[in-house]
Chains A and B, each alone.
Chain A
Amino acid sequence: QKEVEQDPGPLSVPEGAIVSLNCTYSNSAFQYFMWYRQYSRKGPELLMYTYSSGNKEDGRFTAQVDKSSKYISLFIRDSQPSDSATYLCAMSPNGNNRLAFGKGNQVVVIP
């Protein structure tokens, strides 16, 4: 079993819809959870960062971590065409600088 599982999509939604993305993982030592956004032909950029369980909100973006289920989610409200990108989840154990990445989920927001 791969450490981090992420459905690659692609996921197409109409503008204004809620986008829901998720990752599952197998390593219970993971403590730090991140979402990166990658536009075509660009490097990934950090979008959301969460430590341990709980929710974090930043504008239209909400990240959720459920450590008991080993499941993390990213929600994008009022999606815009500019949100069209690949979203990668990433996580690491406490104090370890190596990240385990999901394969990425391509999102297309249709105007």
Chain B
Amino acid sequence: DVKVTQSSRYLVKRTGEKVFLECVQDMDHENMFWYRQDPGLGLRLIYFSYDVKMKEKGDIPEGYSVSREKKERFSLILESASTNQTSMYLCASSLGLRHDEQYFGPGTRLTVT
């Protein structure tokens, strides 16, 4: 079974702090994704990566950056956290072939106060 793990289930940070969210997958998947999920807005793609050190912007990249130094690990960075970044953050990975099933981690609920 594919396993995608995220470093924290719940996180509380203060406005202006730098926040790191880590994601690790154990199935040698090529692609990794970061989403945020908000009530009424659904899942929105922040960034994704299709290879080590490669990244592409998703639909809402503003205020975020990412890092993929190793194939199994994809980090989401909030350079200066703001209250409107309070959300559920979900990491996903996929094999990278033409069929696109994504496997999700359990999510990190981030609260910025």
Point out residues on A near B: beta carbons under 8 Å: 6, 8, 32, 34, 36, 41-46, 49, 51, 88, 90, 92, 94-99, 101-104
Contact call B42/A42, Cβ cutoff below 8 A: no
Top 6 A-B pairs ranked by shortest CB distance?
A43-B104, A103-B42, A101-B43, A44-B104, A43-B106, A92-B100
Contact call A43/B42, Cβ cutoff below 8 A: no
Point out residues on B near A: beta carbons under 8 Å: 4, 31, 40-43, 45, 48, 50, 58, 90, 92, 94, 96, 98-107, 109
Closest to A95 in B: B98
Contacts between the two chains (Cβ within 8 Å), count: 55
Q: How many angstroms between the C-alpha atoms of A40 and B94 in the bound complex?
A: 23
Chain A residues in 8 Å Cβ range of B92:
43
Q: List 23 A-B contacts (CB under 8 A).
A: A6-B42, A32-B100, A34-B100, A41-B107, A41-B109, A43-B4, A43-B104, A43-B106, A44-B90, A44-B104, A45-B103, A46-B102, A49-B99, A51-B99, A88-B43, A96-B100, A97-B31, A97-B48, A97-B50, A98-B45, A98-B48, A101-B42, A103-B42
Whether A43 contacts B90 in the complex (CB less than 8 A), given A51-B99, A88-B42, A102-B42, comes out as yes
